[in-house]
Structure 1
């Protein structure tokens, strides 16, 4: 029987549980929770900034995101951050009871939909040595590798095959999910049937880069399954760990997930406006000084900067942990003041994950203001993207209304 331990991401105190010492060590290595010895053979578990699940044999430990956004919302944030083509219905109907059971069910369902009209075929460019002519002979390679030899022949041809990138990604995700212990027998049977359907498709070595694929009319029915499969392959692992027990883990850092989502969503929302949006914008806080190397300067990487006319115009910073009444956001505003000063803009936007409205703070003795803007990630995807569009519209309209920033204004005055 599976022992299921569920923790809240913002749990303020550790939870004491009984664990085998080897299981405790493996759990601590997963990065999902910190594991510390306690009295009486018990161990204390404490969330450490990540969410997800780790299953070790019959032990399942889950850390739920704040506001219990659920697996469907989490997968949407992960998928959209990687590819704006990720649609809300790609994860529709995902249950939120057990993360691995939910992932397995969703992957099985989306892969079945992808393959219901048969396995997709495509042309694959092949270069190999054969004893018969196929395609064209690579004369240069033949002369270099086999001088004076007639056979085998170095040939190149396009093979119409199932062994294409789309099928490799699907099969790799299905195979990985099949290694998760304690999956329901019906789901495991469906995954095994899907794996058999993809017979002849080569396997991707664990940890190897995923092959690239391009959305098209031909592979449109594969889209939702492929995007979910890529999330599984990038964030999940399953291997034999403690003794003969299989260890499966799906662990993500919510601060990174939120920052990546905001960066991608804002870039999409600002795309109709003039200028360019760049994530992790590099700059320096201090001036260059004679006699010192560039590496000696105080470097900074701003989460998101939208530049117009080659000069920074709007500055954004994504913060997953929103301030509370007992948690004053001093450090966040100090950081934004530094960004504005270094980049020469008069306003910055602090994007917090959580419900609420907007608040504008004017910094004393400066012409700089910092606006706090909330994104409630528990909203439906459509509403969440609409809120990001509201942020993009507001920031650009304020910029156009006169909040150009010191650098941009000086460039206009100088005719740059």
Structure 2
């Protein structure tokens, strides 16, 4: 198996690859791949914002290419950002242990296996599941309409609906699906795989999910509290899994995090948490925002904070990109100006993952709108990062209130 190690958004590297393998990487769209003009038989590869590991099966070649893409931030920091987005009150206590792993997939496999052990080590959670079926005895209630439609007046069997107390519930189905998925991924350490196989045996009686089926929904309760960390990771595994057949017989299998989404989710959830004590409500990926009066041009700001009377007071957008020598991208300013115009706000906020300066602001000519660009240093410790987010939220609220009083 040929392995290529890359770092997200790092300078491009040249690697010896066959033409078929290079073209496969182009078709997979996981990294940028172009033929090296200086070294025949080599391809120039550059990773973007996706991190993780995938095996690309090249048609006509026996061995797949394994791409391992590491994040710029430490693995522990990545899992903090991810975990805080899932559960801001429950993931600050170091529950997600990534051990000594320096790659995303082994660390994820280790963390998931530990959480599953904590969840099901004392036995599988049980609960009530709504069940419908046919029976010779009445149990629960009779589905009268279905009885008439299917039985044409016959007394038996009876179409019934009842609540069954079982282990085959949404929580366990998610854990089984994520465990199955993890066992199929390349690069899972042997010891972790062996423990996952043991846990998979405990979940053997749980109904597997059908590929393409919508993930079952669950809600946090006191009864499933020991499952919650594992369930958050299970959803991340199932949503980040990459297994698909592409044109030309190309197949990829692996797991990828999109750092754009990880950063965006963290910033928005952290802002919502920091602003919760000020009244109003924070909305992520706000709907119902339109640029034009006819409401044909829809917009989706990453974060909008509405005051207690329902009026928008703060708009923010998260950008996982560093400022360049010449400053931040102009296109981001145009986008934020459109958000401010549509929401009737005179100030907007762009939050970047690190940058050359901690804060820059621009007053738009004629309109008077002020657009703020702020940098967030992800190299800082989690507690310090949350303090930075709290300070940022306070500044946004201060400018919102001063604008509201004008």
8 Å contact 1:181–1:246 — kept in the other structure?
A: no
Residue 195 of structure 1: aligned partner:
200
Deviation at 1:307, TM superposition (A): 2.8
Residue 317 of structure 1: aligned partner:
317
- Correspondence for 1:87 among 81, 86, 91: 91
Residue 207 of structure 1: aligned partner:
212
- Correspondence for 2:69 among 35, 60, 63: 63
Matches within 5 A, 1:323-362: 323-354=323-354, 357-362=358-363
8 Å contact 1:377–1:384 — kept in the other structure?
A: yes
8 Å contact 2:319–2:353 — kept in the other structure?
A: yes
TM-score, with normalisation over the residues of structure 1?
Answer: 0.83
Q: Is 1:237 aligned to residue 263 of structure 2?
A: no
Q: Secondary structure at the match of 1:394?
A: helix
Residue 43 of structure 1: aligned partner:
43
Alpha-carbon RMSD across the aligned residues, in angstroms, is 3.1
CA offset digits 1:145-178 (Å, max 9, x no partner): 2023232221222222110111101111111111
Q: Is 1:302 aligned to residue 308 of structure 2?
A: no
Q: Secondary structure at the match of 2:278?
A: coil
Q: Secondary structure at the match of 1:183?
A: coil
Deviation at 1:41, TM superposition (A): 2.6
Go from structure 1 to structure 2 and tell me whether the alpha carbon gap of 1:191 and 1:342 turns closer, same or farther (over 3 Å shift).
Answer: closer
| Structure 1 Cα separation of the partners of residues 381 and 28 of structure 2 | 30
- Correspondence for 1:16 among 9, 14, 17: 14
Residue 77 of structure 2: aligned partner:
73
Go from structure 1 to structure 2 and tell me whether the alpha carbon gap of 1:312 and 1:135 turns closer, same or farther (over 3 Å shift).
Answer: closer
Go from structure 1 to structure 2 and tell me whether the alpha carbon gap of 1:182 and 1:389 turns closer, same or farther (over 3 Å shift).
Answer: closer
Go from structure 1 to structure 2 and tell me whether the alpha carbon gap of 1:112 and 1:27 turns closer, same or farther (over 3 Å shift).
Answer: farther
Deviation at 1:360, TM superposition (A): 4.1
8 Å contact 2:124–2:167 — kept in the other structure?
A: yes
CA offset digits 1:63-104 (Å, max 9, x no partner): 233xx2133333333344355455133423344423222222
| Structure 2 Cα separation of the partners of residues 228 and 6 of structure 1 | 24
Q: Name structure 2 gaps, 5 residues minimum.
A: 57-62
Residue 100 of structure 1: aligned partner:
105
Go from structure 1 to structure 2 and tell me whether the alpha carbon gap of 1:134 and 1:328 turns closer, same or farther (over 3 Å shift).
Answer: closer
Deviation at 1:265, TM superposition (A): 2.1
8 Å contact 1:180–1:247 — kept in the other structure?
A: no
Q: Is 81-90 or 301-310 further displaced after alignment?
A: 81-90
Go from structure 1 to structure 2 and tell me whether the alpha carbon gap of 1:390 and 1:166 turns closer, same or farther (over 3 Å shift).
Answer: same
Q: Secondary structure at the match of 2:147?
A: helix
Q: Secondary structure at the match of 1:271?
A: helix
Matches within 5 A, 1:72-151: 72-84=76-88, 87-88=91-92, 89-151=94-156
8 Å contact 1:72–1:95 — kept in the other structure?
A: no
Deviation at 1:253, TM superposition (A): 2.9
Q: Is 188-197 or 239-248 further displaced after alignment?
A: 239-248
8 Å contact 1:36–1:43 — kept in the other structure?
A: yes
Q: Secondary structure at the match of 2:348?
A: strand
Q: Is 85-94 or 121-130 further displaced after alignment?
A: 85-94
Go from structure 1 to structure 2 and tell me whether the alpha carbon gap of 1:121 and 1:25 turns closer, same or farther (over 3 Å shift).
Answer: farther
| Structure 2 Cα separation of the partners of residues 158 and 112 of structure 1 | 28
| Structure 1 Cα separation of the partners of residues 98 and 187 of structure 2 | 22
Matches within 5 A, 1:214-253: 214-238=219-243, 247-253=252-258
Go from structure 1 to structure 2 and tell me whether the alpha carbon gap of 1:267 and 1:183 turns closer, same or farther (over 3 Å shift).
Answer: closer
8 Å contact 2:14–2:43 — kept in the other structure?
A: yes
TM-score, with normalisation over the residues of structure 2?
Answer: 0.85
Residue 399 of structure 1: aligned partner:
400
Go from structure 1 to structure 2 and tell me whether the alpha carbon gap of 1:208 and 1:24 turns closer, same or farther (over 3 Å shift).
Answer: farther
| Structure 1 Cα separation of the partners of residues 186 and 362 of structure 2 | 51
Q: Name structure 1 gaps, 5 residues minimum.
A: 410-416
Residue 413 of structure 1: aligned partner:
none
Q: Secondary structure at the match of 2:315?
A: strand
| Structure 1 Cα separation of the partners of residues 330 and 143 of structure 2 | 66
8 Å contact 1:169–1:229 — kept in the other structure?
A: yes
Deviation at 1:231, TM superposition (A): 0.5
Q: Secondary structure at the match of 2:117?
A: helix
| Structure 2 Cα separation of the partners of residues 239 and 280 of structure 1 | 27
- Correspondence for 2:191 among 186, 190, 195: 186
Q: Is 1:371 aligned to residue 372 of structure 2?
A: yes
| Structure 2 Cα separation of the partners of residues 147 and 29 of structure 1 | 55
8 Å contact 1:336–1:370 — kept in the other structure?
A: yes
Q: Secondary structure at the match of 1:91?
A: coil
